Amino acid sequence: MKEKLSALALLFAMLCPTSVAFAQSTAEVKTKVLSVDMGQPGCAISVVDYYGGHLDSRMQKTAGYWVDAPPVHSTLGKLGVNFECQVGTDFDNAAQAFGASWDANKNIWKLYYKGEDEKILSHVSRIYQLRSKNAVGFLATTDQINGEESQRVRFYSFCLFHNKAAVCGDGQSMKLEDPKSNYLPYILRILRGVSFIDTPKDDSNR
């Protein structure tokens, strides 16, 4: 019995420093907040940078967030989200252009289809409600149903609204044949970390 206890104590002693070191390294990981001004009133945003990424604007009313080393491997390439700012527009039309409409009775966003031909995609579409620090919106996904099966992807589109400004965008979140490479959970986390701000805090992300 004593030999077993000694062996367990030795094993614990061997594992303990590793566990402590891992806990310390995890605690030391800190997120940054990146910010960017897209050149129009109301079009400055910040993004909580969970993945060591970059945020930049190279054209007026647009910006992009991207990550050099994605959390999961994907044949889609780099993980990124593109933003297009809209100010003083009809937000109902903006939302519909990106695949959603507001249900005032249920207080939720629902999928929007421009015509009967688009409704055939309802069985491969889904919508997520988004809420960040000072914005609300949605993200809608639709799976590709035509073309070569090995190349079919899941598309996404989104909008976040704040006062008289909105940022919207679209892209691809995964190859359908490779669900382990799904970027969607990370894209949702990025969007829920978006805030509208008065002016960028710094240019450290450029």
- For the chain, 206 residues long, give each residue's pLDDT as a single digit of tens: 434 334 433 333 333 333 333 233 333 346 899 999 999 999 999 999 999 999 999 899 999 999 999 999 888 888 999 999 999 878 899 999 999 999 999 999 999 998 877 888 889 999 999 999 999 999 999 999 998 988 999 999 999 999 889 999 999 999 999 988 999 999 999 999 999 998 765 544 44
Topology adopted by domain 31-196: Protein Transport Mog1p; Chain A (3.40.1000)
Q: The tokens of 100 are what?
A: 């959603």
Q: Looking at residue 70, what is its pLDDT? A: 92
Report the alpha-carbon distance of residue 167 to residue 85 in Å, rounded: 4
Count the residues in the chain: 206
Q: Looking at residue 33, what is its pLDDT? A: 96
Full strand arrangement of the beta sheet holding 44-49: 32-37, 44-49, 194-196
Report the alpha-carbon distance of residue 145 to residue 203 in Å, rounded: 42
Three-state secondary structure call for residue 132: coil
CB atoms within 10 A of CB 63: 26
118 Cβ contact list (under 8 Å, min separation 6): none
148 Cβ contact list (under 8 Å, min separation 6): none
Residues β-bridged to residue 155: 142, 172
197 to 41, 152, 187: CA distances (angstroms): 10, 37, 20
Q: Looking at residue 205, what is its pLDDT? A: 45
Q: Looking at residue 24, what is its pLDDT? A: 33
Q: Looking at residue 91, what is its pLDDT? A: 87
Report CA torsion sign: 51, 53, 55, 59: negative
